[in-house]
Chain A
Amino acid sequence: MLEDFEIVAGVEVHAELATKTKIFCGCTTEFGGEQNTHVCPVCLGLPGVLPVLNRQVVEYAIKTGLALNSEIAEFSKFDRKNYYYPDLPKNFQTSQYDLPICLGGHVEIEVDGVKKRIGITRVHMEEDAGKLVHSGATISTSDVSFVDYNRTGVPLLEIVSEPDLRSVDETVAYLEKLVQTLDYIEVSDCRMEQGSVRFDINVSLRPKGSDKLGIRTETKNLNSFGSVRRCMEYEIERQAEVLSEGGQVIQETRTWDEGRGITLSLRSKEEAHDYRYFPEPDLVPMVIEREWVERVRERLPELPDSRRERLLELGLSAYDAGVITSSKALAEFFDAALDKFKDPKTLANWVMGDFLGLLKAKGIPVQSSPVKPEGLAELLNLVENGTISGKIGKSVIGEMFESGKGAAEIVKEKGLVQISDTGALSGIIDKVVNSNPQSVTDFKAGKERAIGFLVGQVMKETKGQANPGLVNKLLKEKLETM
């Protein structure tokens, strides 16, 4: 059934900006305050107040536009989007309609090794709405609802894509790339679990080979890549079923029910949107000077693609480079460690293996890791110069996470220095050889692998502290004289 159709999808992304204050007033944007304590007459929409635009919001919008290859408008203004909903105290949302701050642009994605350019239609600034808590299980079964306006007026960027996405994988890749970019340029903290980035997914199907767009649905307010994937898979299946049975998809807004794994119709046709946009009379327009745009461009940090490219040139695999550049914090960690430890491949192995593993086990983000880049580099240098074996290194990094102590300190305290002293090792090798005559016979009979077992025994005797290369060499010499 599905193979008869082509998927056409486009996405609207709402990202909360990392400003200290709201878009039109000085209230803090801090997450999680007690309800209705981050509010003032402006964001509560009390009569007689005047909003004043936060310069930082405009600057972040310009920065985002530049990172997304958009054109930054020379003239831009705000408009009122009118609708009645109690999460908006003013009964309109201050947004941008026909003169958004950024126009056009694109993001490059890669799915299964195929690169594709996804168009950006526009980026505009607007204010976030408040939070509703319903008395019942859902909005429709609630007699009353409770409103917290702390989030009202937190600056948002709405980033609208072209309907260029042709699969669930492409959609998720696009969203990941977009969020990664916002993270890199530090315009949003991108805390998805706190709802600081939200996705609205528009999807329609059309018969394969057709170039006419089908009727789409819009599913609003998804806040993880996982739910985008599940929601799209469900919605595609649902539409394919409707169309295969000769039915018509209804153009409507839907909501994703994570618990049940289905989308539900949210608004009926009778309540079709009629936002009656008009220019916001309380805010004067913006003239974006080109000097401002250039100043922002000059300070634009290295973007994910170029960072990834740089790691590939250092000899990392595409997969490793992808993981390390997936967040700015991890990429910066890697670069800082590489500054003190010069072997990128070994560093990548440690970062992706033990380091990320331990962070994940403890549930802490890279930024707050007890092991700093210099600390990891110190450890790896100890392994590299033979002070400790790689195996001991793995236990040392665990200890570094636990105690916060430096690698050299732990190695010294616990006496973990690798035994690279021929004299000290000879005695142990003699002992191992004498107590494993079978392995010796096997080796003599040409079974090269038998030496591996003997090396293992020596390592065990020395609690992993022997230099494996040296043990191997000494063992071979010993066996050859026998």
Chain B
Amino acid sequence: MKISKEQVEHVAMLARLELTEEEKQTYTEQLNSILEYAAILDKLDTQDVPPTAHPLPLHNVFRDDVVKPSISQEEALTNAPDAEDGFFKVPKIV
């Protein structure tokens, strides 16, 4: 499997990253070398191995449906870059 520069551009767009031509080149190479390394795994026969859902040998960690106090509006907005009237304020969406 080989990653093209177009794929790097696509992923960058999805992640809202602005990349220079140079960076695109670098990341294409780096991602390809990572994939190449991981391709070692292709040598294993995984026919009868179920995909890993989680690395920890745990399941069914639940909590009861009991209300806990929320934080205040003021606290919620403390780290917001911009806020108004108790709302998070965000730039133009589309």
Residue of B nearest to A138 (CB): B94
In the bound complex, residues from chain A placing their C-beta under 8 Å from that of B79 are 46
Known: A36-B76, A142-B93, A146-B85. A279 touches B54 (CB 8 A): yes
Docked-complex contact A284 and B54, CB < 8 angstroms? yes
> A346 at the A/B interface (Cβ < 8 Å)?
no
Please determine whether B90 and A99 come into contact, CB atoms closer than 8 angstroms.
no
Among B14, B16, B70, B90, contact of A28 (Cβ-Cβ < 8 Å):
B70
Interface pair B90/A26, CB less than 8 Å apart: no
- Contact count band on B: 35 or more
Question: Is A317 in the interface zone, CB < 8 Å from B?
Answer: no
Query: Distance in Å from the Cβ of B59 to the closest Cβ of chain A?
Result: 5
Residues of B contacting A: mostly: loop
* Contact A54 B65, beta carbon cutoff 8 Å: yes
Q: For chain B, residues 53 to 77, give those with C-beta under 8 angstroms from any C-beta of chain A.
A: 53-56, 58-73, 76-77
Please give me the residue from chain A that is nearest to B63 by CB atom: A52
Q: Are B76 and A53 in contact (CB under 8 A)?
A: no
Report yes or no: B59 in contact with A287, Cβ–Cβ below 8 A: yes
Interface residues of A in 131-172 (CB under 8 A from B): 132-133, 139-140, 142-149
- Min C-beta distance of A59 to chain B, whole Å: 9
Q: Are A54 and B87 in contact (CB under 8 A)?
A: no
Q: Which residues of B contact A274 (CB under 8 A)?
A: 10, 14
Query: Does B43 sit within 8 A of A, measured CB to CB?
Result: no
B52, B68, B70, B93: residue with the most chain A Cβ atoms closer than 10 Å: B70
**At the interface, yes or no: B89 with Cβ under 8 Å from chain A?**
yes
B-facing residues in A274-312 (Cβ within 8 Å): 274, 276, 279, 281, 283-287
Report A-chain residues with C-beta under 8 Å of the C-beta of B53. Answer: 75, 77, 99, 279, 285
Residues of A within 8 A of B58 (CB): 284
Residues of B within 8 A of A86 (CB): 88, 90, 93
Q: Which residue of A lies closest to B64 (CB)?
A: A55
Is A20 in contact with B71, judged by CB distance below 8 angstroms? Answer: no
Give Cα A147–Cα B91 distance, bound, in whole angstroms.
11
- Among residues of A, the one whose C-beta sits closest to the C-beta of B87 is A146
Complex CA gap A41/B78 in Å reads: 12
Partner of B67, one of A28, A46, A58, A144: A28
Q: Which residues of A contact B (CB under 8 A)?
A: 19-21, 25-28, 34-41, 44, 46, 52-56, 58, 75, 77, 82, 84-86, 99, 132-133, 139-140, 142-149, 274, 276, 279, 281, 283-287
